[in-house]
Amino acid sequence: MKFYKLLIILVLLVGCQNSETVKKDSKPKTKVEIVDVPQLNLEQANRLAQLPIHCINTEYPNKLGQVLGGNEDLKSPQELHPVFYGCFDWHSAVHGHWSLVKLLKEFPELNNREAIIQKLLTNISKENIAQEVLYFKGKHNTSYERTYGWAWLLKLAEELHTWSHPEAKILEENLQPLTNLIVERYLEFLPKLNYPIRVGEHPNTAFGLSFAYDYALATDNTQLQTLIETRAKEFYSDDQDCPLEWEPSGFDFLSPCLEEAALMKRVLAKDEFLSWVNDFLPELNNEDFDIEVGKVSDRTDGKLVHLDGVNFSRAWSLNYIAKDLPELNHLQNLANKHIKYSLPGIVGDSYEGGHWLGSFAIYALNSVSN
Protein backbone atom coordinates (compact mmCIF):
# COMPACT_ATOMS: atom_id res chain seq x y z
CA MET A 1 0.00 0.00 0.00
CA LYS A 2 2.83 2.36 0.87
CA PHE A 3 4.38 1.59 -2.51
CA TYR A 4 1.23 2.72 -4.35
CA LYS A 5 1.02 5.93 -2.32
CA LEU A 6 4.63 6.76 -3.15
CA LEU A 7 3.98 6.03 -6.81
CA ILE A 8 0.98 8.40 -6.84
CA ILE A 9 3.04 11.16 -5.19
CA LEU A 10 5.83 10.75 -7.77
CA VAL A 11 3.35 10.93 -10.66
CA LEU A 12 1.84 14.13 -9.22
CA LEU A 13 5.28 15.70 -8.76
CA VAL A 14 6.37 14.89 -12.31
CA GLY A 15 3.07 16.27 -13.60
CA CYS A 16 3.60 19.54 -11.73
CA GLN A 17 7.14 19.87 -13.06
CA ASN A 18 5.97 19.25 -16.62
CA SER A 19 3.24 21.83 -16.13
CA GLU A 20 5.78 24.40 -14.94
CA THR A 21 8.01 23.60 -17.91
CA VAL A 22 5.13 24.16 -20.31
CA LYS A 23 4.35 27.48 -18.61
CA LYS A 24 7.96 28.60 -18.92
CA ASP A 25 8.20 27.47 -22.55
CA SER A 26 4.87 29.07 -23.41
CA LYS A 27 6.08 32.59 -22.59
CA PRO A 28 6.10 34.67 -25.77
CA LYS A 29 9.57 35.30 -27.14
CA THR A 30 10.75 38.84 -27.74
CA LYS A 31 11.06 39.31 -31.47
CA VAL A 32 13.98 41.25 -32.90
CA GLU A 33 12.95 44.60 -34.37
CA ILE A 34 13.19 44.72 -38.16
CA VAL A 35 15.48 47.57 -39.17
CA ASP A 36 15.38 49.42 -42.48
CA VAL A 37 18.19 48.42 -44.82
CA PRO A 38 20.81 51.22 -44.90
CA GLN A 39 21.79 52.48 -48.34
CA LEU A 40 25.09 53.80 -49.68
CA ASN A 41 23.67 56.10 -52.35
CA LEU A 42 25.26 59.11 -54.07
CA GLU A 43 24.06 61.53 -51.40
CA GLN A 44 25.50 59.37 -48.63
CA ALA A 45 28.72 58.87 -50.62
CA ASN A 46 29.25 62.63 -51.01
CA ARG A 47 28.61 63.05 -47.30
CA LEU A 48 31.09 60.35 -46.27
CA ALA A 49 33.73 61.51 -48.79
CA GLN A 50 34.11 64.73 -46.83
CA LEU A 51 35.83 62.87 -43.99
CA PRO A 52 38.89 61.57 -45.92
CA ILE A 53 38.98 64.67 -48.15
CA HIS A 54 39.37 66.73 -45.00
CA CYS A 55 41.99 64.59 -43.33
CA ILE A 56 44.35 62.87 -45.80
CA ASN A 57 46.46 66.04 -46.10
CA THR A 58 45.91 67.25 -42.52
CA GLU A 59 49.27 66.69 -40.85
CA TYR A 60 48.45 67.63 -37.26
CA PRO A 61 47.46 66.42 -34.73
CA ASN A 62 49.50 63.31 -35.43
CA LYS A 63 50.35 60.05 -33.64
CA LEU A 64 53.46 58.61 -35.29
CA GLY A 65 53.80 55.32 -33.41
CA GLN A 66 57.50 55.64 -34.10
CA VAL A 67 60.59 53.99 -32.58
CA LEU A 68 63.43 56.50 -32.53
CA GLY A 69 66.84 55.14 -33.44
CA GLY A 70 68.54 58.53 -33.19
CA ASN A 71 68.19 62.25 -33.81
CA GLU A 72 68.00 61.62 -37.54
CA ASP A 73 64.56 60.05 -37.03
CA LEU A 74 63.14 63.27 -35.58
CA LYS A 75 61.30 64.50 -38.64
CA SER A 76 57.82 65.80 -39.34
CA PRO A 77 55.07 63.32 -40.23
CA GLN A 78 55.06 64.47 -43.87
CA GLU A 79 58.84 64.04 -44.17
CA LEU A 80 58.62 60.52 -42.76
CA HIS A 81 55.47 59.52 -44.65
CA PRO A 82 54.92 61.72 -47.71
CA VAL A 83 51.86 59.67 -48.75
CA PHE A 84 50.21 58.59 -45.52
CA TYR A 85 50.93 61.42 -43.10
CA GLY A 86 47.39 62.77 -42.60
CA CYS A 87 44.32 61.58 -40.70
CA PHE A 88 46.15 61.47 -37.32
CA ASP A 89 48.05 58.20 -37.94
CA TRP A 90 49.48 56.11 -40.76
CA HIS A 91 46.82 53.43 -40.97
CA SER A 92 43.97 55.94 -40.91
CA ALA A 93 45.62 57.81 -43.77
CA VAL A 94 45.82 54.53 -45.70
CA HIS A 95 42.15 53.70 -45.29
CA GLY A 96 41.26 57.34 -45.92
CA HIS A 97 42.82 56.92 -49.39
CA TRP A 98 40.98 53.60 -49.75
CA SER A 99 37.70 55.37 -48.96
CA LEU A 100 38.16 57.85 -51.77
CA VAL A 101 39.14 55.13 -54.26
CA LYS A 102 36.12 53.05 -53.25
CA LEU A 103 33.69 55.96 -53.57
CA LEU A 104 35.13 57.08 -56.92
CA LYS A 105 34.86 53.52 -58.16
CA GLU A 106 31.26 53.02 -57.01
CA PHE A 107 29.93 56.52 -57.84
CA PRO A 108 31.12 58.04 -61.12
CA GLU A 109 29.06 61.17 -60.33
CA LEU A 110 30.81 61.83 -57.01
CA ASN A 111 31.26 65.55 -56.31
CA ASN A 112 34.69 67.01 -57.16
CA ARG A 113 35.63 63.74 -58.84
CA GLU A 114 38.54 65.06 -60.94
CA ALA A 115 39.98 67.06 -58.06
CA ILE A 116 39.93 63.95 -55.84
CA ILE A 117 41.66 61.87 -58.53
CA GLN A 118 44.36 64.53 -58.90
CA LYS A 119 44.82 64.57 -55.12
CA LEU A 120 45.34 60.79 -55.17
CA LEU A 121 47.81 61.01 -58.06
CA THR A 122 49.77 63.71 -56.24
CA ASN A 123 49.93 61.73 -53.01
CA ILE A 124 50.50 58.23 -54.40
CA SER A 125 53.43 59.11 -56.64
CA LYS A 126 56.41 56.87 -57.36
CA GLU A 127 58.71 59.21 -55.44
CA ASN A 128 56.47 59.36 -52.37
CA ILE A 129 55.98 55.59 -52.28
CA ALA A 130 59.74 55.09 -52.50
CA GLN A 131 60.07 57.15 -49.31
CA GLU A 132 57.37 55.08 -47.59
CA VAL A 133 59.22 51.88 -48.54
CA LEU A 134 62.46 53.35 -47.20
CA TYR A 135 60.79 53.97 -43.85
CA PHE A 136 59.55 50.37 -43.59
CA LYS A 137 63.06 49.12 -44.33
CA GLY A 138 64.48 51.04 -41.39
CA LYS A 139 66.22 49.02 -38.69
CA HIS A 140 63.53 49.71 -36.08
CA ASN A 141 60.49 49.48 -38.34
CA THR A 142 60.15 45.79 -39.23
CA SER A 143 56.95 45.46 -37.17
CA TYR A 144 55.59 48.92 -37.98
CA GLU A 145 51.78 48.82 -38.45
CA ARG A 146 51.67 45.03 -38.09
CA THR A 147 49.09 43.82 -39.09
CA TYR A 148 46.30 46.42 -39.06
CA GLY A 149 48.04 48.97 -41.28
CA TRP A 150 49.36 46.18 -43.48
CA ALA A 151 45.83 44.89 -43.99
CA TRP A 152 44.45 48.26 -45.02
CA LEU A 153 47.35 48.83 -47.41
CA LEU A 154 46.49 45.58 -49.18
CA LYS A 155 42.79 46.57 -49.20
CA LEU A 156 43.79 49.81 -50.96
CA ALA A 157 45.91 47.82 -53.43
CA GLU A 158 43.02 45.42 -54.04
CA GLU A 159 40.62 48.31 -54.73
CA LEU A 160 43.00 49.85 -57.25
CA HIS A 161 43.61 46.47 -58.90
CA THR A 162 39.89 45.87 -59.44
CA TRP A 163 39.09 49.39 -60.72
CA SER A 164 39.13 49.76 -64.51
CA HIS A 165 39.72 53.53 -64.54
CA PRO A 166 42.98 54.50 -66.38
CA GLU A 167 44.28 56.47 -63.40
CA ALA A 168 43.73 53.43 -61.17
CA LYS A 169 46.40 51.54 -63.10
CA ILE A 170 48.86 54.40 -62.60
CA LEU A 171 48.09 54.50 -58.89
CA GLU A 172 48.40 50.72 -58.59
CA GLU A 173 51.79 50.73 -60.31
CA ASN A 174 53.02 53.59 -58.13
CA LEU A 175 51.86 51.78 -54.97
CA GLN A 176 53.26 48.39 -56.07
CA PRO A 177 56.68 48.58 -54.34
CA LEU A 178 55.00 49.17 -50.97
CA THR A 179 52.38 46.53 -51.74
CA ASN A 180 55.11 44.01 -52.52
CA LEU A 181 56.92 44.87 -49.30
CA ILE A 182 53.78 44.35 -47.20
CA VAL A 183 53.13 40.99 -48.87
CA GLU A 184 56.71 40.00 -48.03
CA ARG A 185 56.15 41.06 -44.42
CA TYR A 186 53.09 38.81 -44.19
CA LEU A 187 55.00 35.88 -45.68
CA GLU A 188 57.83 36.38 -43.17
CA PHE A 189 55.67 36.99 -40.12
CA LEU A 190 52.83 34.46 -40.31
CA PRO A 191 54.97 31.30 -40.10
CA LYS A 192 56.54 32.70 -36.90
CA LEU A 193 53.26 33.59 -35.17
CA ASN A 194 52.62 30.68 -32.81
CA TYR A 195 49.32 31.98 -31.40
CA PRO A 196 46.64 34.26 -32.84
CA ILE A 197 46.06 37.67 -31.29
CA ARG A 198 42.43 37.80 -30.14
CA VAL A 199 41.92 41.43 -29.17
CA GLY A 200 39.35 43.98 -30.32
CA GLU A 201 41.89 46.52 -31.56
CA HIS A 202 44.64 46.88 -34.17
CA PRO A 203 46.69 43.67 -33.75
CA ASN A 204 43.69 41.33 -34.20
CA THR A 205 44.98 38.45 -36.29
CA ALA A 206 41.68 37.44 -37.88
CA PHE A 207 41.09 40.94 -39.24
CA GLY A 208 44.63 41.18 -40.56
CA LEU A 209 44.29 37.84 -42.33
CA SER A 210 40.85 38.57 -43.81
CA PHE A 211 41.87 41.70 -45.71
CA ALA A 212 45.14 40.12 -46.82
CA TYR A 213 43.21 37.08 -48.05
CA ASP A 214 40.86 39.27 -50.08
CA TYR A 215 43.90 40.86 -51.73
CA ALA A 216 45.48 37.47 -52.44
CA LEU A 217 42.30 36.25 -54.16
CA ALA A 218 41.88 39.43 -56.20
CA THR A 219 45.48 39.33 -57.47
CA ASP A 220 45.87 35.53 -57.76
CA ASN A 221 48.67 35.48 -55.22
CA THR A 222 48.47 31.78 -54.46
CA GLN A 223 51.46 31.81 -52.08
CA LEU A 224 49.84 34.34 -49.77
CA GLN A 225 46.41 32.74 -50.15
CA THR A 226 47.68 29.27 -49.25
CA LEU A 227 49.65 30.53 -46.26
CA ILE A 228 46.64 32.38 -44.86
CA GLU A 229 44.37 29.36 -45.33
CA THR A 230 46.87 27.14 -43.55
CA ARG A 231 47.49 29.48 -40.64
CA ALA A 232 43.80 30.35 -40.17
CA LYS A 233 42.91 26.68 -39.89
CA GLU A 234 45.80 26.02 -37.51
CA PHE A 235 44.81 28.98 -35.33
CA TYR A 236 41.05 28.56 -35.23
CA SER A 237 39.77 25.16 -36.40
CA ASP A 238 39.35 23.74 -32.90
CA ASP A 239 37.74 26.83 -31.36
CA GLN A 240 34.37 26.39 -29.67
CA ASP A 241 31.84 28.53 -27.78
CA CYS A 242 33.34 31.95 -28.37
CA PRO A 243 32.22 34.18 -25.46
CA LEU A 244 30.36 36.78 -27.50
CA GLU A 245 28.65 37.96 -24.32
CA TRP A 246 32.02 39.31 -23.15
CA GLU A 247 32.08 41.76 -26.05
CA PRO A 248 32.65 44.56 -26.53
CA SER A 249 35.47 45.67 -24.29
CA GLY A 250 35.50 49.38 -23.55
CA PHE A 251 37.89 50.35 -26.37
CA ASP A 252 37.05 47.69 -28.99
CA PHE A 253 36.54 48.59 -32.62
CA LEU A 254 36.65 44.97 -33.79
CA SER A 255 34.72 41.93 -32.54
CA PRO A 256 37.19 39.09 -31.84
CA CYS A 257 34.45 36.44 -32.22
CA LEU A 258 32.84 37.81 -35.39
CA GLU A 259 36.12 38.70 -37.11
CA GLU A 260 37.27 35.13 -36.57
CA ALA A 261 34.02 33.72 -37.95
CA ALA A 262 34.23 35.99 -41.01
CA LEU A 263 37.78 34.79 -41.67
CA MET A 264 36.81 31.12 -41.37
CA LYS A 265 33.91 31.75 -43.75
CA ARG A 266 36.56 32.82 -46.27
CA VAL A 267 38.86 29.82 -45.92
CA LEU A 268 36.46 26.89 -45.34
CA ALA A 269 34.11 25.16 -47.72
CA LYS A 270 30.42 25.85 -47.08
CA ASP A 271 29.64 22.60 -45.26
CA GLU A 272 32.84 22.81 -43.24
CA PHE A 273 32.04 26.35 -42.20
CA LEU A 274 28.48 25.54 -41.14
CA SER A 275 29.76 22.71 -38.98
CA TRP A 276 32.54 24.87 -37.53
CA VAL A 277 30.36 27.91 -36.77
CA ASN A 278 27.76 25.68 -35.11
CA ASP A 279 30.43 24.81 -32.52
CA PHE A 280 32.01 28.26 -32.40
CA LEU A 281 28.93 30.53 -32.28
CA PRO A 282 25.87 28.25 -32.07
CA GLU A 283 23.67 31.23 -31.11
CA LEU A 284 23.94 32.56 -34.66
CA ASN A 285 21.53 29.82 -35.77
CA ASN A 286 18.73 31.31 -33.66
CA GLU A 287 16.49 33.51 -35.81
CA ASP A 288 15.85 35.71 -32.76
CA PHE A 289 19.54 36.10 -31.97
CA ASP A 290 20.35 39.65 -30.91
CA ILE A 291 23.23 41.56 -29.36
CA GLU A 292 23.21 45.09 -28.06
CA VAL A 293 25.09 47.68 -30.08
CA GLY A 294 28.26 49.18 -28.66
CA LYS A 295 27.12 52.37 -26.95
CA VAL A 296 29.29 55.47 -27.24
CA SER A 297 29.22 57.78 -24.24
CA ASP A 298 31.58 60.47 -25.56
CA ARG A 299 32.51 60.89 -29.22
CA THR A 300 35.20 63.43 -28.34
CA ASP A 301 37.18 60.70 -26.56
CA GLY A 302 39.46 58.98 -29.06
CA LYS A 303 39.20 55.62 -27.31
CA LEU A 304 35.53 55.60 -26.33
CA VAL A 305 34.51 56.44 -29.90
CA HIS A 306 36.07 53.11 -30.92
CA LEU A 307 32.66 51.59 -30.14
CA ASP A 308 31.22 53.21 -33.27
CA GLY A 309 33.88 51.23 -35.09
CA VAL A 310 32.85 48.00 -33.40
CA ASN A 311 29.30 48.56 -34.65
CA PHE A 312 30.45 48.97 -38.24
CA SER A 313 32.90 46.07 -38.11
CA ARG A 314 30.32 43.81 -36.48
CA ALA A 315 27.99 44.71 -39.34
CA TRP A 316 30.43 43.82 -42.09
CA SER A 317 31.37 40.58 -40.32
CA LEU A 318 27.72 39.54 -39.81
CA ASN A 319 26.93 40.29 -43.45
CA TYR A 320 29.92 38.31 -44.65
CA ILE A 321 29.01 35.37 -42.43
CA ALA A 322 25.42 35.39 -43.77
CA LYS A 323 26.43 35.82 -47.42
CA ASP A 324 25.06 32.99 -49.61
CA LEU A 325 23.72 31.18 -46.55
CA PRO A 326 19.91 31.56 -46.45
CA GLU A 327 19.76 29.87 -43.05
CA LEU A 328 21.70 32.84 -41.60
CA ASN A 329 19.86 35.65 -43.40
CA HIS A 330 18.51 36.93 -40.08
CA LEU A 331 22.01 38.16 -39.23
CA GLN A 332 21.67 40.87 -41.88
CA ASN A 333 18.99 42.64 -39.86
CA LEU A 334 21.29 42.64 -36.85
CA ALA A 335 24.01 44.16 -39.02
CA ASN A 336 21.58 46.86 -40.14
CA LYS A 337 20.80 47.69 -36.50
CA HIS A 338 24.48 48.27 -35.76
CA ILE A 339 24.97 50.51 -38.80
CA LYS A 340 21.82 52.49 -37.98
CA TYR A 341 23.10 53.28 -34.49
CA SER A 342 26.49 54.69 -35.48
CA LEU A 343 26.04 56.14 -38.98
CA PRO A 344 24.25 59.39 -38.03
CA GLY A 345 26.98 60.49 -35.63
CA ILE A 346 30.19 60.27 -37.64
CA VAL A 347 29.93 63.20 -40.09
CA GLY A 348 30.21 66.62 -38.53
CA ASP A 349 31.35 65.18 -35.23
CA SER A 350 34.76 65.44 -33.58
CA TYR A 351 38.06 64.65 -35.32
CA GLU A 352 38.67 61.82 -32.83
CA GLY A 353 36.22 59.69 -34.81
CA GLY A 354 36.04 61.61 -38.06
CA HIS A 355 39.62 60.85 -39.09
CA TRP A 356 38.88 57.11 -39.47
CA LEU A 357 35.23 56.14 -39.03
CA GLY A 358 34.19 57.11 -42.54
CA SER A 359 36.18 54.16 -43.89
CA PHE A 360 34.48 51.79 -41.48
CA ALA A 361 31.05 53.14 -42.43
CA ILE A 362 31.76 52.81 -46.16
CA TYR A 363 33.03 49.25 -45.79
CA ALA A 364 30.03 48.30 -43.64
CA LEU A 365 27.54 49.87 -46.06
CA ASN A 366 29.18 48.06 -48.97
CA SER A 367 28.64 44.76 -47.16
CA VAL A 368 24.85 45.24 -47.15
CA SER A 369 22.78 43.09 -49.51
CA ASN A 370 20.08 45.16 -51.19
pLDDT digits (tens, 9 = 90+) for 26-61: 344 556 789 899 999 999 999 999 999 999 999 999
Report if residue 11 sits inside a domain. no
Tell me, what's the pLDDT at 7? 45
Number of folded domains that form the chain: 1
Tell me, what's the pLDDT at 30? 58
How far is the C-alpha of 1 from the C-alpha of 215, rounded, in Å?
A: 79
On the CB side of 242, CA atoms within 13 Å amount to 25
Cβ atoms of residues 201 and 160 within 8 Å: no
Average pLDDT value for residue range 156-176? 97
Tell me, what's the pLDDT at 345? 87
pLDDT digits (tens, 9 = 90+) for 202-250: 999 999 999 999 999 999 999 999 999 999 999 999 999 999 999 999 9
CB atoms within 10 A of CB 244: 18
pLDDT digits (tens, 9 = 90+) for 343-352: 998 887 788 8
Query: How much of the chain exceeds pLDDT 70, in percent?
Result: 91
Q: Is 301 exposed, middle or buried (0-12, 13-18, 19+ CB in 10 A)?
A: middle
Tell me, what's the pLDDT at 12? 46
Whether omega before 61 lies within 30 degrees of 0, making that bond cis, reads yes
Average pLDDT value for residue range 128-153? 98
Q: Which pLDDT band, with edges at 50, 70 and 90, does 370 fall under?
A: low
Asked if pLDDT for residue 325 goes beyond 70, the answer is: yes
pLDDT digits (tens, 9 = 90+) for 285-324: 999 999 999 999 999 999 999 999 999 999 999 999 999 9
Report if residue 320 sits inside a domain. yes
Which CATH number fits the domain that encloses residue 346?
A: 1.50.10
- Tell me which long-range contacts 133-138 makes (C-beta under 8 A, separation of at least 24): 133/177, 133/178, 133/181, 135/80, 135/81, 136/178, 136/181, 136/185, 137/181, 138/69, 138/73
Q: Is 16 exposed, middle or buried (0-12, 13-18, 19+ CB in 10 A)?
A: exposed
Lowest mean pLDDT across 7-11, 73-77, 146-150, 292-296: 7-11
Asked if pLDDT for residue 10 goes beyond 70, the answer is: no
Cβ atoms of residues 55 and 358 within 8 Å: no
Report if residue 14 sits inside a domain. no
How far is the C-alpha of 254 from the C-alpha of 289, rounded, in Å?
A: 19
Q: Is 249 exposed, middle or buried (0-12, 13-18, 19+ CB in 10 A)?
A: middle
Greater model confidence, 33 or 275: 275
Report if residue 5 sits inside a domain. no
Cβ atoms of residues 333 and 32 within 8 Å: yes
Is this prediction's pTM over 0.85? yes
Tell me, what's the pLDDT at 347? 85
Asked if pLDDT for residue 9 goes beyond 50, the answer is: no
Cβ atoms of residues 230 and 223 within 8 Å: no
Angle between helices 357-366 and 90-106 (to 10 degrees): 40
How far is the C-alpha of 44 from the C-alpha of 109, rounded, in Å?
A: 12
Report if residue 26 sits inside a domain. no
Report if residue 9 sits inside a domain. no
Tell me, what's the pLDDT at 33? 83
What's the domain range around 259? 37-65+75-366
CA 139 to chain centre: 30
Average pLDDT value for residue range 361-369? 95
Report if residue 84 sits inside a domain. yes
What is the number of helices (H) and of strands (E) in the chain?
A: 16, 0
Tell me, what's the pLDDT at 6? 47
Tell me, what's the pLDDT at 350? 87
Tell me, what's the pLDDT at 263? 98
Average pLDDT value for residue range 138-164? 98
Cβ atoms of residues 194 and 152 within 8 Å: no
Report if residue 16 sits inside a domain. no
Mean pLDDT, rounded, of the chain: 92
